[in-house]
Amino acid sequence: MRAVDIIGKKRNKEANTEAEIRFLVNGFVNGEVADYQMSAYLMAVCLNGMTEEETEDLTRIMIESGDVIKLDKIPFKKADKHSTGGVADTTTLILAPIVAACGGYVAKLSGKGLGATGGTIDKLESVKNLDTQCDGEKFERLVSELHLCVASQTASLVPADKLMYALRDVTATVDSIPLIASSIMSKKIAAGADVIVLDVKFGNGAFMKTVDEAEALAAAMVKIGKRMGRKTVAILTDMNEPLGTAVGNGLELKEAIDALSCRIDKNSKLMQVSLFIAEQMLILSDVAKTEEEAQNLIDEALKSGTALNKLKSLCEALGGDTACFENTDLLTKTEKQIPVYLNKTGYVESVDALKIGNAACLLGAGRQKKTDSIDYSVGIVLLKQKGDYVKLGEAVATLYVNDEKHIKEAEKLVKEAFALNCTKQEHKSSIYKVINFEKI
């Protein structure tokens, strides 16, 4: 078997066999297949696609390229949630403790954020001294004892994906549905999930810009989950506007604590999406039979404070100083807090998520490459959202700033992000569609 023949088949729009894909991927991981050959194959896939069978084979082979976390000692379904990334998306830190408090088991490995979208690990690590590195034994123990663990992805998990993504990133082959779907699902399955709920976002603040693109990716991932024996549901959500009001790691953790402390309206976009995903996880995990039963469990977990205590216990177990749960201002201490004014009046018609996310990056809340350092305390708090009225002299946002180098640029982006109208715009649900594994 030769790499050049496998590449040629895909170039000619033919399907590769499982053995051919295995030869190529394993050869690339162990250095026998050159990076220029893998790059050629990835470009052929990007241009010509893959069959469902090829996509499943690629996913399985990438899983087998490294360690697999087995949570077999826990005799219950383990649930995971994945978001394709968004601005002010703090859902994991809200819904995961809720599901755990309701009796579900959440086992989640996450990554760090890049660009305008924040990473769950960065948000957690805004807690002083907290370390999200876990070996397999500790990960399983926390899932068993707390019903919850959110930790960093390990280097030994799906190494083929890490190596292939590094090539995709520099060869314009990131935008491929089969490659994205297999990348995401290989990591979810390798981390031991029985139940996978996917939050696939679309809009200017998301990786997938259109509904059609998001739906194609969601369907591909749900099909992989079904073919590989995992209960999988995808939810399409709108990311044309920031989901919550806080953008920045400490600010977003503060918002999660406020949400779990019942200080945020349950009808807000952030809470609607968080609670809906939590319901789906509880139903798929067989903790609740109906949405109504799941909603009742969630209400009790929030009102009793059990959900908040789950997040606090996780932070404690990861070595974090949980004083921030009593005083959330510890998460957001900055040298300056600068209000942003529009100097005009009207109802907020829209808030551009990408511009807000990029403004937060300029302040130091995000990174452009994985080796960049970030400032956990900086970011933006939105004081006005779609449908709110803005008076003259009324701030629409607050910048949390330590380094003043890019303040003017960030302020300009925030101002540009707000579009006003003379009439009030109706709120639309951020939840667009649900793709269920049983319907595919």
Are 310 and 150 within 8 A, CB to CB?
no
Tokens encoding 271: 């809470």
Q: How far apart are CA 400 and CA 380, in angstroms?
A: 6
Cα separations (Å) of 433 from 99, 130, 199, 348, 352?
21, 36, 10, 25, 22
Q: Which is nearest to 92 in space by CA: 149, 140, 154? A: 149
Tokens encoding 388: 């709110």
Q: How many helices (H) and strands (E) does the chain have?
A: 17, 13
Q: Which helix (H) or strand (E) holds 222?
A: helix 211-227
- Strand, coil or helix: 165: helix
Q: Which is nearest to 306 in space by CA: 366, 262, 364, 357? A: 262
Q: In what order do the strands lie in the sheet with 246-247?
A: 246-247, 379-382, 395-401, 336-341
Which residues are marked as active site? 82, 161, 168, 183, 187
